[in-house]
A and B are shown apart, each in its own frame.
Chain A
C-alpha cells in the first residue's frame, strides 16, 4: 500500500522568507501523481501544485515549487517570499491515477510578520 510521510508537524517562517516542507512516499508504481494541498482555517482544501512522476522537470506555480526526487521518493515544497496568507495546514498527497488519493499527516505552517 502506498504511504505518504510528512515528518514536520509544524514549521514557521518569517514573512518574505523561504521555507521548505518535506514529504516522502512509498510506492511500487512507476507512474503516479503527487500533489500539495493547502487547508487554511476556512477548511477548504486548495490545490497548490502537482507533479506527474513521468516528468523530470520540477513543477512550479508562481512562488511555489517542488523538488521531486523520484529515486529517493521525495517530494518537497518550497514557498518563496512567504506571505501571511500562506499560513495553513499543508498536505502532501499521492495518487496512482485510480482515485486512491492518500494524504500525509500534514504540516502546519505559521508565517510570522
Chain B
C-alpha cells in the first residue's frame, strides 16, 4: 500500500476563516511533507517533518501552521489566508530520513487539496 490520503479534496474559504488540511499515511513512513503547487508550476516545498518534529520550514508565512500529531498524520492549519494562497496543496511521505539509501528518498504523494481563498 503506497497510499497517502488527503482531505478535503476541495476547499473554499474566506480570508477570515480558519480551516485545516489533513494528510494521512499508513506506510510506516517517518517523514512527511507539505508542498504548494500553483497552476502550471512545479510543487514548492513548504514544510518537512521528521519523526514528528519540524525539520524544514521554507520561510512559509505564519498564516500556515503545520502540525504532526503522530507519525501517520500531518495537518496544515490555515488562518487569515490571502487570495494568492489559492493553490493545490500536496502532502507526501517517505521512509526513514536518518538512513541512507535510494529507496528511502522516494516521496509518495497524495492527490492534493484544491484550495480557493475568496
- Whether B48 contacts A99 by the Cβ 8 Å rule is yes
Shortest Cβ distance from residue A9 to the other chain B in the assembled complex, whole angstroms: 9
Knowing A42-B111, A106-B42, the reply to whether A99 touches B33 (Cβ < 8 A) is yes
Closest A residue to B56 by CB, please name it: A99
Residues of B within 8 A of A64 (CB): none
Query: Contacts A95-B105, A97-B105 known; A104 to B42 CB distance under 8 Å?
Result: yes
In the complex, per-residue mask of A81-113: 1 if CB is within 8 Å of any chain B CB, else 0: 000000000010001011111111110000000
Q: Using a CB–CB distance below 8 Å, which chain A residues touch chain B?
A: 33, 35, 37, 42-47, 50, 52, 91, 95, 97-106
| Bound: A3/B108 CA distance, A | 21
| A103 and B43 contacting across the interface, CB-CB below 8 Å | yes
* Residue from B40, B102, B106, B112 whose CB has the most chain A CB atoms within 10 Å: B102
Contacts of B41 in A (CB 8 A): 105-106
Q: A43-B88, A45-B90, A52-B102 are in contact. Are A99 and B55 (CB under 8 A)?
A: yes
- B45 near A44 with CB under 8 A, answer no
What class of interface size applies to chain B in its complex with A? 20 to 34
Report the minimum CB–CB distance from A37 to chain B (whole Å). 8
Q: List 30 A-B contacts (CB under 8 A).
A: A33-B105, A35-B106, A42-B111, A43-B111, A43-B112, A44-B111, A44-B112, A45-B43, A45-B90, A45-B92, A47-B107, A47-B108, A50-B105, A52-B102, A95-B105, A97-B105, A99-B31, A99-B48, A99-B55, A99-B56, A99-B97, A100-B45, A100-B56, A101-B45, A103-B43, A104-B42, A105-B42, A106-B40, A106-B41, A106-B42
For the complex, give the distance between the alpha carbons of A43 and B112 in Å.
7
> Which chain A residues border B71 with CB–CB below 8 Å?
none
Q: Is B25 close to A, CB under 8 A? A: no
1/0 contact string of B77-113 vs chain A (CB within 8 Å): 0000000000010101010010010100111111110
Question: Is the Cβ of B100 less than 8 Å from the Cβ of A103?
Answer: no
